[in-house]
Amino acid sequence: MQGSILIFQVLINGLLLAGVYGVAAIGLNLIFGVLRVANIAHGDFMMVGAFIVYSLYTLGLSPLIGIPVAAGVLFILGLLTERFLVERVVSQPMAYSLLLLYAVSILLRNAGLNLWTSNYVSLNVIPGSLHLGPFTVSEIRLVVFIVAVGLTLAFTFILNKTIAGKTIRASIQHPDLAGACGIDVRRVRALTFGVGTVLAGITGTFFIMLFSVNPEMGDMMILKLFAIVIVGGLGNYLGTFAGALVIAMAETFTGFYATTQFADVAVFSIFLLSLILRPQGLLGGRRAA
Amino acid sequence: MKVRLTFGRQFGLLLIVLFLLALVPAIASDYIVTFVLTLFMYIALAYSWNFISGYTGYISFGQIALFGVGSYGCAILILKCHVPWLLAAGMGSAIAGAFAIPLGLIMLRLKGPYFAVGMMGLFQFLAALAATWKSMTNGATGIYLPPVSALAYIYFAFLGLALALFLTTWKLEHSVFGLRLRTVKEDEEGAESLGINTTFYKVFAFVVSALGCGFAGGIQVFYVSYVDPSTAFPAVLNITMIIMSLLGGMGTYWGPLIGAALLGQISEFLWAHFPYFYLILYGCLLAFIIIFMPSGIVGYFRKRRLLREGIGLSLPQDPVKLELAKEES
């Protein structure tokens, strides 16, 4: 009895974590879909979001103000990155954008290390926990999960039901034809990159409220995010959520039964296995490799 | 002015440079020797990266993982089996190379960004493994080795390694083998359809790269006479070797040498003056290279016809003729 309660507890933690991962992974998937560019710097954009909120918090501003500010800053940062860097190599072979975004990653990470040092920090905004019967759920995790799911649903709605979403989907399916229909594909690319980095940044702000992070957090995040997108299938946003669930569960379970170091091994194995055995993702989508 | 480097002149130049470099440990101060041997290590690593990423186009963000494998291989052999250090470095390199065969067969099935991120993941995975596998690696405490007796040994070991990798690349540039390797970068499926076993060529390049990285790791271990997860898997070196290779010109045989020699000196200056900002500057430099001179310094000069065709990026004249000449001889 005690054992099964414990397993359920781990399951709940995995689910809550999946909600958080999902938001950033959708941003990565979206950028990949529209620009055909693998955003290696996604984890570092997360870090920027996290530390903007942290800096504002140390100045006495609550995350409720900090998160929108971070989102705004990241949108502009993403827009500028796309417009002045990625746009120049978007029609080149993949190696160019990959190396360019690697440069962005190096830049952001080391700027972060210079500004905020390599110390681990965390924001403890809502310290309490809820007791639901035998289970314990920390309030902040629940709040973050609800916000994350809300964001994902809102995003899916925008993508599927609005003109803006239609424009984005058209640019994903056939960029040339979309251009011929009067869609400014360049603008869509810049905006998409901006939105993607905002999603990354918001996830970062969740992260700093849930865990201790330092400016090198992008390193451990990027493999997880890629694994999520691959497991979920490229261009499949519902699948991304399923992928997030797989990765988060693997991580929490191995972390629970072994150590957190094994969790990274598990993530790496899933990454490799899913690419080799099922490159189209669990629920289908475009082939990844 | 056009630089015309014929084969004879290149060879003569190489001999003169080697002779001058061999004199360095005898006449220069320890500081200079240390500086030059570090340059050799950079050159060796830049060439190693160039094998896999420059020639086959598979961008690896974690090739330094094999440096770590070589480092630990060498350190453990010296400590537990009392192997002489140069032999241990060679065996460390062989371990890295042997490890690279199954690894390459798996990883090189991944394309583009997945290979890149996969290698990044492997790098982190191995670093974490080195930190946790205490019975073998002594964890985060690290392994201490007897201190190095003379700097000149290290100097010549790195010089030899850099030279070997340079010559291998030179040979690659002037052979059908290298041409086939290059087809992987240009059009892998097309090459496959022409009957080129691309998997073999990719894995071969990966293994050569691993041998180079592993050897460098082995020498480095003996040089600093210490190894722990952060010296065996140095993230900064990982970035440096990529930028050096790109600065000189990725997929060229002079490129890594020029890039490493140049950036090695610049980084020495940056270290001293901007210890906290130099990696930011590296990031900027990398972005600048990709956008404004993607084929590096060699490519830049070649485009402006300051370097003869045939040096650097270009293919050896006519592939068909070359193939025929090969068959005749």
Asked whether residue B41 is domain-assigned, the answer is yes
CA distance B92 to chain A (A): 24
Q: Which amino acid is at B106?
A: I
Alpha-carbon dihedral B130, B134, B140, B144, rounded to 10 degrees: -100
CB-nearest partner of B59 from A98, A104, A111: A98
Contact between chains at B124 and A219 (C-beta distance less than 8 A)? yes
User: Which pLDDT score is estimated for B317?
Assistant: 46
Q: Which residue is associated with the tokens 């390694």? A: B161
What phi, psi does A132 have (nearest 5°)?
-105, 100
Contact between chains at A271 and B118 (C-beta distance less than 8 A)? yes
Asked whether residue B15 is domain-assigned, the answer is no
Contact predicate B315/B9, CB 8 Å:
no
The domain locations on chain A are 2-277
CA distance A256 to chain B (A): 17
Q: Which residue is associated with the tokens 């809102």? A: A154
CA distance B220 to chain A (A): 24
A104: chain B residues, CB-CB within 8 Å:
283, 287
Q: Sort strands A135-138 and B143-144 into parallel, antiparallel or unpaired.
A: unpaired
Residues B230, B233: Cα–Cα separation, whole Å = 5
Per-residue pLDDT tens, chain A, 289 aa: give them: 567 888 888 888 899 999 899 999 999 999 988 888 899 999 999 999 999 999 999 998 888 899 999 999 999 999 999 999 999 998 888 889 999 999 999 999 999 999 998 899 988 887 777 777 777 788 888 888 898 889 888 888 888 889 988 898 888 888 888 888 888 889 999 999 999 999 999 999 999 998 899 999 988 899 899 999 988 887 777 788 889 999 999 998 888 887 777 788 888 888 888 887 876 666 666 665 5
User: Which pLDDT score is estimated for A204?
Assistant: 94
Residues A289, A38: Cα–Cα separation, whole Å = 13
Nearest chain B alpha carbon to A102: B283
Residues B122, B69: Cα–Cα separation, whole Å = 11
Residues B215, B89: Cα–Cα separation, whole Å = 6
The 10 Å Cβ neighbour count of residue A165 is 15
For A252, residues 6+ apart whose C-beta sits below 8 A from its C-beta are: A10, A13, A14, A17, A263
Q: Is B110 on the interface with A (CB under 8 A)?
A: yes
Residues A5, B227: Cα–Cα separation, whole Å = 44
Asked whether residue B13 is domain-assigned, the answer is no
B132: chain A residues, CB-CB within 8 Å:
259, 261
Q: Which amino acid is at A212?
A: S
CA distance B238 to chain A (A): 11
- Mean per-residue pLDDT, B110-116: 87
Asked whether residue B321 is domain-assigned, the answer is yes
Asked whether residue B12 is domain-assigned, the answer is no
Instruction: Please state the pTM of the whole predicted model.
Output: 0.89
A219: chain B residues, CB-CB within 8 Å:
120, 124
Nearest chain B alpha carbon to A105: B283
Nearest chain B alpha carbon to A108: B280
Q: Is B139 on the interface with A (CB under 8 A)?
A: no
Contact predicate A44/A105, CB 8 Å:
yes
Give the pLDDT confidence of B297-306 residue by residue, as tens digits: 988 888 776 6
Nearest chain B alpha carbon to A103: B283
Provide the 3-class DSSP secondary structure of residue A83. helix
Asked whether residue B207 is domain-assigned, the answer is yes
Question: Which residue range forms the structural domain that includes residue B128?
Answer: 30-328
Contact between chains at A98 and B242 (C-beta distance less than 8 A)? no
Fold classified for A2-277: ABC transporter involved in vitamin B12 uptake, BtuC (1.10.3470)
Helix locations, chain A, DSSP H? 2-35, 42-58, 63-81, 87-89, 94-116, 139-161, 163-173, 175-180, 185-210, 217-232, 237-257, 260-277
Tell me how many domains chain B contains. Answer: 1
Asked whether residue B250 is domain-assigned, the answer is yes
Asked whether residue B252 is domain-assigned, the answer is yes
Contact predicate B124/B103, CB 8 Å:
no
